[in-house]
Amino acid sequence: MKKILVIGSLNLDMVAVVDHAPAVGETVLCSNMQLIPGGKGANQAYAAAALGGDTTILGAVGADSYAELLKESLCRSGADISRLITRPDSSTGIAVITVNRDGDNSILVISGANASLMPEDIERNRPLLEACDLVILQMEIPLETVLYSAKLAKELGKLVLLDPAPVPKHFPEELYHYVDLLKPNETELSMLTGMEQIDARLEEAAAWVHGKGCQNLIVTLGEKGLYLDSVQEGACRIPARKVAAVDTTAAGDTFTAALAVKLMEGAGLKEAAEFANLASSIVVTRKGAQSSIPSREEVELLRA
């Protein structure tokens, strides 16, 4: 089985369900808060393993109880956590998430140990990159580490999948050359390209991405489905599966992971995107991050 390596963040999500997200200066009351394992890197590793991928995660956590909760959850999914780095002088990352009555979320991330994952940590774990077939990256770890990881993976001949979230203020153009597949949502694509009304300019935005050196783009568009544009495979739109959204947390991470799993199974980009579309459609019908991620069997039932 081909191997997936996720290099990224691990956070404990503190989730509060509210009537609406607070405005500046406003206090909003809620009845309770849940502690849920999350973080974009951890979510993607959990989802990839739960969906049948041979998955290892490389990241950093603190020496605290939050880290233990994260490790326990990842182990349940089947992900390999043996290369996680423990920082005794840092806390585990935390995300404070408010979810409104429509299921949309707002997230505040306290990076903690995630901010300590440096290029030298990646270099020390070079054998992991040598042994894998695909590397998944996001942007909740230092930008220099993302860039180093992508460049090294590309030099080693690995497939590089980047979820550019959260989009940094200064996105290094060099990074596009090391990315085989870029997977933003429409807001992130707008931030990357500087284009407004991105849904009406997807072909133009895709040409911009291709011109930067990345040959494959998949844009998730929420209830409008997704747009795929590949230099090799062409362009198409895939409609969303109609569901009643409860919570969108981890939907994008699950999409990314599902995409990676199917690509490692030999699927083409369109088939992989259709599978990922189904997997993420299940996530939004449930509350939480990793707790909302489906099994492979659940996704396959939708394909039957």
Residues labelled catalytic: 253
Alpha helix segments (H runs only) across the chain = 40-50, 65-77, 119-124, 126-131, 143-155, 173-176, 186-193, 202-212, 251-264, 269-283, 296-303
DSSP code at position 259: H
What is the bridge-based pairing of β-strands 60-62 and 85-87?
parallel
Contacts of 141 (CB under 8 A, 6+ apart): 7, 8, 9, 41, 59, 114, 115, 117
Q: CA 93, CA 87: separation in Å to the nearest integer? A: 11
User: What CA–CA distances, in Å, run from 271 to 233, 256, 276?
Assistant: 11, 13, 9
DSSP code at position 197: S
CB atoms within 10 A of CB 201: 16
Q: CA 206, CA 186: separation in Å to the nearest integer? A: 12
**52: region left, alpha or beta (phi > 0 left; psi from -120 to 50 alpha):** left
Distance of CA 114 to the CA centre of its chain: 15
Contacts of 155 (CB under 8 A, 6+ apart): none
62: three-class secondary structure by DSSP: strand
